Amino acid sequence: MGQIAAGSQQKMHGIWAGRWTFILAATGSAVGLGNIWKFPYIAGENGGGAFVLVYLLCIAIIGVPVMMAEVLLGRRARKSPIYAMSDLAREAKVSRLWCAIGWSGALAGFLILTFYSVIAGWALAYVGKMINGDFVHAAPETVGNIFSTLLADKGGLIQWHSVFMLMTVGVVAAGVTKGLGVAVRVLMPLLFVLLFVLLWYSSQYGDFSRGFNFLFDFDFSKLTWSGVLVALGHAFFTLSLGMGAIMAYGAYMPSHAEVSKTVVTVALLDTLVALVAGMAIFPIVFAANIEPSAGPGLLFVSLPVAFGNMDSGLLFGSVFFILVSIAAWSSSISLIEPVVSWMVESGRFNRVGAISLVGVTAWLMGLGTVLSFNDWADFKPLLGMTFFDFLDFLTAQIMLPLGGLFIALFVGWKMSKASVREEIAETTDIQFDLWLQMVRWISPLAVAAVFVFLLWDKFLSGWWAALIALI
Ligand code: TRP
């Protein structure tokens, strides 16, 4: 069955040229704004070290096992997530309700894309500002002002958001297996090199030891249960897990490729990029007296200060923001591929029609995020959050972890062990059983525990204390 399905899939969407193309494409999806923009600022907001440790633990004990589960689901079914889940539920003879994994994933990807495109637009805007020399010898306050001016300029934000959305639509319209593999082969390594250049700069000119201590000094008193949920959510976000992106890419993975090694490689590369980005950014943050908890602007304020004062900073700075934009691009494609490939498989749309419709809708909704940084900055109807904060919270902290939880439960408990084993054939029995136990118990329980503790911390502990006080 696998062979036949693979054949028709190959005709409809294409197949990766080999294991390394899959690794690069999955890394392209994983490495993005999450690593370079989001990780440093949420680490800053949540006090640093202890947060980073929890995040790394989440990657290792939840992220990697769940990612293997997601890849194997996609590769076994060789269809887009929604249809994949419906086939696999039938194969496992369980309720079709399991398709909800596909549906909620498609929705989460769409919602993330709406704000992802706006933030990627900031990076695009910064390419122009870099080339223009706006940051040459700029003091931190000047850079801060340039950034706030950008945020206040709705027209400009919308323009860059549109450019980025068009770039995404363009690649998805052409089919992700065509151009992407090649692009990623050249550009990802270049991004690595540039991050190391930045790391070198910050070790020379930044407050390196303070930056290092901030990221790796495990002070648990600074960490709250909400911080733990942020770390967990980010582990999913940064690995592109819990919404079917990796499942969709897994569907194009050659049958002979080894799922386990491939996934570990992707997770390691992704973590490396985040840590290097953090180590490049924080020493500069401290040397320039910027607050580590500055929020979403952290990257956009700290790095231009560094580039502005660096020899050849103009060149490095422009190339850096071009690469960040490209990293965001290769990620945004994977956010929307599940929905588009589902629409194509349904037979009601062709690729171009599907992506045009989805692209326009996501663009429109992105306007809400644009406004969150200016006109609507004080409009917080949803849990006291702006539109952007709410979308980020809903997707990263609720939908992705829940998606991951159900993916783990499905693979661990619902699929027959034989079919799972067929997809993870390369491991020894012991390794396989270890992984299976993680997927069955550790990953779901860890996700559930974070939710329970958070609920307790936020609501129940207050009531409990009140109740005790009453008695
Ligand atoms: N992982 C990407 C990043 O770190 C974002 C991303 C791409 C994503 N595809 C995803 C997040 C799917 C969640 C789900 O920037």
Q: CA–CA separation, 246 vs 102, rounded Å?
A: 12
Q: 60: exposed, middle or buried (C-beta count within 10 Å: 0-12, 13-18, 19+)?
A: middle
Q: CA–CA separation, 249 vs 152, rounded Å?
A: 37
Q: What is the DSSP code string of 325-351?
A: HHHHHHHHHHHHHHHHHHHHHTTS--H
Number of other residues whose CB lies within 10 A of the CB of residue 324: 29
| Residues 94, 414 contacting (CB under 8 angstroms) | yes
Q: How large a percentage of the chain has pLDDT more than 70?
A: 94
What confidence score (pLDDT) does residue 1 get? 35
User: Is residue 269 scored above 90 in pLDDT?
Assistant: yes
| Residues 344, 350 contacting (CB under 8 angstroms) | yes
Model confidence pLDDT, tens digit, residues 336-395? 989 998 999 999 999 999 999 999 999 999 999 999 999 999 999 888 999 999 999 999
Q: CA–CA separation, 313 vs 136, rounded Å?
A: 8
Model confidence pLDDT, tens digit, residues 395-447? 999 999 999 999 999 999 999 999 999 999 999 999 999 999 999 999 999 99
What confidence score (pLDDT) does residue 186 get? 73
Q: Would the CB of 271 count as within 6 Å of ligand 1?
A: no
What confidence score (pLDDT) does residue 455 get? 84
Helix segments in 175-258, DSSP class H? 176-205, 208-216, 225-238, 245-250
Instruction: Give the closest residue (by CA) to ligand 1 atom 8.
Output: 240
Q: Is the full-model pTM beyond 0.85?
A: yes
Q: Would the CB of 37 count as within 6 Å of ligand 1?
A: no
Number of other residues whose CB lies within 10 A of the CB of residue 148: 14
User: Is residue 2 scored above 50 in pLDDT?
Assistant: no
Ligand 1 center to residue 29 CA distance, Å? 6
Please calculate the CA angle 32-274-103 and round it to the nearest 5 degrees: 45
Q: Which residues contact 364 (CB under 8 A, 6 or more apart)?
A: none
Instruction: Give the closest residue (by CA) to ligand 1 atom 10.
Output: 240
Which H, E and C letters describe 80-135, residue by residue? CHHHHHHHHHHHCCCCHHHHHHHHHHHHHHHHHHHHHHHHHHHHHHHHHHHHHCCC
What confidence score (pLDDT) does residue 10 get? 57
Q: Is 449 helix (H, G, I), strand (E, B) or coil?
A: helix
Which atom, in ligand 1's list, is nearest to the CA of 328? 15
Q: Which residues contact 143 (CB under 8 A, 6 or more apart)?
A: 135, 301, 304, 305, 308
145 vs 463, more confident: 145
What confidence score (pLDDT) does residue 311 get? 80
pLDDT band of residue 238 (cuts 50, 70, 90) is: very high
Q: Which residues contact 33 (CB under 8 A, 6 or more apart)?
A: 116, 119, 120, 123, 324, 327, 328, 331
Q: Is 385 helix (H, G, I), strand (E, B) or coil?
A: strand
Which atom, in ligand 1's list, is nearest to the CA of 396? 13
What confidence score (pLDDT) does residue 180 get? 65
Residue environment code for 172-203, b if the CB has 16+ CB neighbours within 10 A, otherwise e: bbebbbeebbebbeebbeebeebbeebbebbe
Which atom, in ligand 1's list, is nearest to the CA of 245? 12
What confidence score (pLDDT) does residue 3 get? 40
Q: Would the CB of 27 count as within 6 Å of ligand 1?
A: no
Q: 252: exposed, middle or buried (C-beta count within 10 Å: 0-12, 13-18, 19+)?
A: buried
Please calculate the CA angle 125-128-132 and round it to the nearest 5 degrees: 140
Q: CA–CA separation, 101 vs 83, rounded Å?
A: 11
Q: CA–CA separation, 306 vs 198, rounded Å?
A: 9
Model confidence pLDDT, tens digit, residues 19-63? 777 888 899 899 999 999 999 999 999 999 999 999 999 999 999
Q: CA–CA separation, 201 vs 208, rounded Å?
A: 10
Ligand 1 center to residue 141 CA distance, Å? 31
Q: Would the CB of 34 count as within 6 Å of ligand 1?
A: yes
User: Is residue 200 scored above 50 in pLDDT?
Assistant: yes
The structure tokens listed for 51 are 């947060």
User: Is residue 201 scored above 90 in pLDDT?
Assistant: no
| Residues 202, 194 contacting (CB under 8 angstroms) | no
What confidence score (pLDDT) does residue 13 get? 66
Backbone phi, then psi, for 385, in 5-degree steps? -120, 155
User: Is residue 175 scored above 90 in pLDDT?
Assistant: no
Q: Which residues contact 433 (CB under 8 A, 6 or more apart)?
A: none
User: Is residue 334 scored above 60 in pLDDT?
Assistant: yes
Q: Would the CB of 405 count as within 6 Å of ligand 1?
A: no
Q: Would the CB of 363 count as within 6 Å of ligand 1?
A: no
93 vs 68, 83, 85, 88, CA distance in Å?
Answer: 22, 15, 12, 8
Q: How does DSSP classify residue 294?
A: -
Q: CA–CA separation, 140 vs 301, rounded Å?
A: 7
What confidence score (pLDDT) does residue 310 get? 77
The mean per-residue pLDDT over the stretch 62-76 comes to: 97
| Residues 259, 270 contacting (CB under 8 angstroms) | no
Ligand 1 center to residue 67 CA distance, Å? 13
The structure tokens listed for 463 are 């009531």
User: Is residue 11 scored above 60 in pLDDT?
Assistant: no
Ligand 1 center to residue 325 CA distance, Å? 14
